């Protein structure tokens, strides 16, 4: 049988651990990813906030530098006394390099009327143009304070600009004119530094004039001076307009999630906004996560490999043990101990298994030996043996002796109901078996042979096998020969007895006549010899009568005249008949008080039963003892008990009391007389009269023999109920 490489348990453990670690890895990956994402987001907000602030500061500083520069120019012009064309031109020429640097869009110098009197880059028709209508110019001239204009379209440049103005004032504070620098929003370097600042991270920078609802600048120059869209079209503007200075936007300008940071430049009404796509974070996280994934995967594979090796090491001895058990059950081959040099639980288990399998093999060998022994006993037994199923009573097995006895082959007997083998006119099989199964009991069965006729067997039975597989083992001993011999013997005894009785009766009669002295008196010696001859011929007659009774009883030829008997009367008769015997033995017979009980029995045979029991009781009682007769009645039965105080019956003999010619002590009997047939006849007589007989006896203390016979209730008689005596320990024969 091919052994599976891994047991299912190992696969389950493997899957469980790998599944758990995979789940753990996925969960921790997910948590880490979320944490990383949130950390990155925080970092980004922090970074962008800082950058945005820097951008604001940079723009502020750039504007400030330019204002300072214009203020310096205004101060220099003021020194010249008044803002005149030559003075303005001289100033421009002297500062051209700085002017080009700070104001590539150029500067204008206006007089106190707001008329252009100087320009850094020549534009046709500009000089002499009056700019006092421009609100910021007008405001600077009237207030004498520097200012920065709102973004406007340059009149001559035709491009979006802002204008920075610095008033030229004399020592008395009178406004002499104005120096105005122009910053072209589309191409000016004002925001370059700020934009560059944000270019480090992939963000977009917007500068919005929220007061005037336009883009001041953006990374896309085309947007400059464009009106800001409605809030509905731009989540960013909606957030800004609602006063938020930072936050996350879903499906924003970049199409995904965006982070925005806004800083105000209140003096200008501008707002500097940086916008970063969150995708940047995920893009940065992805390599980290895939790195983690690869490391996790490698770890996972290593774990799986380690687990496979470990489980293989753990499970292989167990699989081997399971394999051994299978082979053990199939009885394939001798089991070799599994080699293992481990001291862990698996080691202990396998070690215990090795011991168990060795013991099991040893037991199996012993069992086999015993089975072989039993088999040979079964096969070679001189008794025929059959095994029956306890429930169906079918034949399971028959030994060779049985097949010889019955003539059937073992195959033909197997599976056959045993009852089919019973010859007719016998009690049913269960009743016979019950008799055969009693301890030390047996029954006689006549079994049919294959080729005709039957064989008489003495059958003893025993229950064998396991509790859930009980079988009946029947030993069949052929007793045909014995029965034939017994029959011959009985026939012989019967014939001899018959032949002897007639001459013996005549001898006995003659002797009685002689001994009675009616003829003439005998000499004393002859008289005693004749007396002995009479006594012996009387005993011989009694023996022959007993033998003939037995013969009749066994042949079922004894005719009984069952009739209603008055028990009191019967007991009186018995006492009268045995009075001389009792007197001789100096034993007193004690009858129960008359009670009017009636039984159904044959009068002559009932007297014979009483005579047997009473004569035995008298015979075995010491002189001066009392033999008592007691009666007990139930509704159905009358029980008669003969109680003596004699020597009792030896325990070893008690089982044989009712057998023929059985005597406890042959020597003593010879002194006391008796044939050993009395109780056998009594037993048969009681049974023939539908009664039961039994006894209990304690050696040294006496015996109690009881007889139960059917009770007859005279009409209109109420039978007093009296409990049957407890016959504990008494041997009953029904």
3-state SS track over 22-81: HHHHHHHHHHHHHHHHHHHHHHHHHHHHHHHHHHHHHHHHHHHHHHHHHHHHHHHHHHCC
Q: How far is the CB of 542 from ligand ADP (least distance, A)?
A: 9
Q: How far is the CB of 647 from ligand ADP (least distance, A)?
A: 6
Q: Which letter does DSSP use for residue 653 in this model?
A: G
> Please, is 507 exposed, middle or buried when counting C-beta atoms within 10 Å of its C-beta (0-12, 13-18, 19+)?
middle
Q: How far is the CB of 530 from ligand ADP (least distance, A)?
A: 25
The answer for residues whose C-beta is within 8 angstroms of residue 427's C-beta and 6 or more apart is: none
Closer residue to ligand ADP (CB): 252 or 615: 615
Got the DSSP string for 544-607? Answer: HHHHHHHHHHHHT------EEEEHHHHHHHHHHHHHHHHHHTT-EEEPPPP---EEEE-HHHHH
Closer residue to ligand ADP (CB): 228 or 571: 571
Closer residue to ligand ADP (CB): 265 or 611: 611
Distance, CA of 45 to CA of 37 (rounded, Å):
12
Closer residue to ligand ADP (CB): 240 or 617: 617
Q: How far is the CB of 560 from ligand ADP (least distance, A)?
A: 20
Closer residue to ligand ADP (CB): 258 or 647: 647
Distance, CA of 17 to CA of 470 (rounded, Å):
51
Closer residue to ligand ADP (CB): 7 or 615: 615
Query: Which residues form the interface with ligand ADP (CB under 6 A)?
Result: 612, 616-617, 620, 644, 646-647, 649, 657, 662-664, 669, 674-680, 703
Distance, CA of 709 to CA of 724 (rounded, Å):
13
CA distances in angstroms from 421 to 51, 58, 69, 406, 436, listed in the order given: 116, 126, 143, 9, 16
Q: How far is the CB of 636 from ligand ADP (least distance, A)?
A: 27
Distance, CA of 408 to CA of 402 (rounded, Å):
8
Q: How far is the CB of 658 from ligand ADP (least distance, A)?
A: 8
Q: How far is the CB of 407 from ligand ADP (least distance, A)?
A: 41
Closest residue by Cα to residue 544 from 503, 497, 508: 497
Closer residue to ligand ADP (CB): 149 or 663: 663
Look at the alpha carbons of 562, 568, 569, 574 in this order and tell me if their dihedral is positive or negative. positive
Closer residue to ligand ADP (CB): 167 or 702: 702
Q: How far is the CB of 722 from ligand ADP (least distance, A)?
A: 25
Distance, CA of 27 to CA of 42 (rounded, Å):
22
Cβ–Cβ under 8 Å, residues 530 and 521: no
Token pair belonging to 633: 């009645």
Q: How far is the CB of 725 from ligand ADP (least distance, A)?
A: 17
Cβ–Cβ under 8 Å, residues 619 and 674: yes
Q: How far is the CB of 397 from ligand ADP (least distance, A)?
A: 43
Token pair belonging to 484: 């034939």
Closer residue to ligand ADP (CB): 99 or 679: 679
CA distances in angstroms from 303 to 18, 20, 306, listed in the order given: 8, 12, 5
Q: How far is the CB of 494 from ligand ADP (least distance, A)?
A: 19
Which run of H or E residues covers position 293?
helix 279-330
Closer residue to ligand ADP (CB): 546 or 602: 546
Closer residue to ligand ADP (CB): 421 or 664: 664
Token pair belonging to 681: 């006849």
Q: How far is the CB of 503 from ligand ADP (least distance, A)?
A: 24
- The two beta strands, 563-566 and 598-601, are antiparallel
Closer residue to ligand ADP (CB): 479 or 611: 611
Distance, CA of 108 to CA of 366 (rounded, Å):
128
């Amino acid at each position: 049988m091919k052994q599976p490489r891994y047991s299912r348990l190992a696969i389950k453990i493997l899957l469980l651990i790998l599944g758990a670690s995979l789940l753990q890895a996925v969960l921790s990956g997910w948590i880490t990813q979320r944490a990383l994402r949130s950390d990155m987001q925080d970092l980004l907000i922090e970074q962008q906030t800082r950058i945005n602030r820097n951008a604001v500061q940079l723009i502020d500083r750039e504007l400030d530098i330019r204002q300072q520069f214009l203020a310096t120019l205004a101060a220099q012009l003021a020194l010249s006394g008044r803002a005149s064309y030559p003075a303005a031109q001289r100033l421009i020429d002297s500062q051209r390099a700085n002017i080009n640097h700070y104001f590539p869009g150029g500067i204008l110098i206006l007089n106190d009327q707001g008329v252009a009197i100087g320009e850094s880059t020549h534009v046709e028709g500009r000089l002499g143009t009056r700019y006092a209508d421009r609100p910021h110019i007008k405001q600077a001239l009237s207030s004498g304070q520097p200012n920065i204009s709102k973004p406007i379209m340059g009149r001559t440049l035709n491009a979006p600009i802002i204008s920075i103005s610095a008033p030229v004032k004399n020592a008395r504070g009178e406004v002499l004119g104005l120096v105005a620098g122009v910053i072209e929003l589309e191409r000016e370097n004002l925001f370059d530094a700020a934009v560059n600042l944000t270019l480090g991270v992939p963000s977009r920078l917007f500068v919005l004039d929220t007061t005037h609802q336009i883009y001041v600048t953006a990374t896309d120059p085309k947007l400059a001076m464009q009106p800001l869209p409605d809030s509905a079209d731009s989540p960013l503007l909606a957030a800004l307009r609602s006063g938020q200075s930072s936050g996350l936007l879903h499906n924003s300008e970049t199409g995904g999630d965006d982070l925005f940071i806004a800083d105000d430049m209140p003096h200008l009404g501008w707002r500097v906004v940086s916008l970063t796509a969150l995708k940047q974070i995920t893009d940065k996280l992805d390599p980290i996560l895939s790195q983690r994934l690869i490391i996790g995967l490698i770890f996972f594979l290593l774990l799986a490999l380690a687990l496979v090796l470990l489980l293989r090491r753990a499970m292989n001895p167990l699989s081997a043990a399971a394999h051994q058990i299978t082979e053990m059950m199939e009885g394939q081959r001798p089991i070799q101990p599994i080699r293992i040099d481990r001291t862990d639980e698996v080691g202990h288990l396998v070690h215990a298994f090795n011991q168990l399998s060795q013991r099991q093999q040893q037991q199996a060998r012993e069992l086999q030996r015993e089975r072989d022994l039993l088999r040979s006993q079964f096969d070679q037994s001189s008794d025929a043996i059959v095994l029956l199923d306890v429930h169906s009573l079918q034949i399971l097995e028959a030994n060779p002796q049985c097949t010889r006895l019955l003539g059937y082959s073992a195959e033909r007997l197997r599976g056959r109901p045993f009852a089919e083998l019973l010859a007719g006119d016998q009690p049913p099989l269960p009743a016979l078996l019950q008799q055969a199964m009693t301890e030390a009991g047996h029954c006689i069965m006549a079994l049919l042979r294959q080729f005709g006729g039957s064989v008489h067997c003495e059958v003893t039975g025993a229950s064998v096998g396991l509790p859930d597989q009980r079988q009946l083992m029947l030993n069949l001993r052929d007793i045909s020969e014995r029965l034939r011999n017994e029959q011959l013997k009985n026939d012989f005894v019967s014939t001899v007895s018959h032949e002897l009785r007639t001459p013996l009766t005549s001898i006995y009669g003659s002797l009685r006549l002689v001994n009675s002295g009616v003829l003439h008196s005998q000499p004393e010696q002859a008289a005693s010899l004749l007396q002995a001859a009479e006594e012996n011929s009387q005993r011989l007659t009694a023996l022959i009568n007993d033998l003939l009774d037995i013969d009749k009883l066994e042949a079922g030829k004894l005719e009984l005249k069952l009739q209603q008997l008055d028990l009191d009367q019967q007991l009186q008769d018995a006492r009268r008949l045995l009075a001389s015997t009792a007197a001789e033995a100096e034993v007193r017979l004690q009858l129960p008080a008359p009670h009017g009980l009636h039984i159904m029995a044959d009068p002559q045979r009932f007297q014979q039963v009483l005579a047997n029991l009473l004569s035995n009781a008298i015979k075995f009682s010491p002189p001066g003892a009392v033999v008592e007769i007691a009666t007990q009645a139930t509704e159905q039965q009358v029980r008669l008990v003969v109680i003596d105080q004699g020597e009792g019956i030896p325990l070893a003999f008690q089982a044989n009391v009712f057998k023929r010619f059985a005597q406890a002590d042959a020597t003593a009997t010879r002194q006391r007389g008796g044939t050993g047939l009395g109780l056998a006849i009594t037993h048969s007589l009681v049974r023939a009269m539908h009664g039961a007989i039994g006894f209990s006896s304690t050696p040294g203390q006496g015996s109690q023999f009881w007889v139960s016979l059917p009770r007859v209730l005279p009409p209109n008689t109420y039978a007093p109920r009296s409990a049957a005596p407890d016959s504990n320990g008494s041997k009953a024969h029904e």
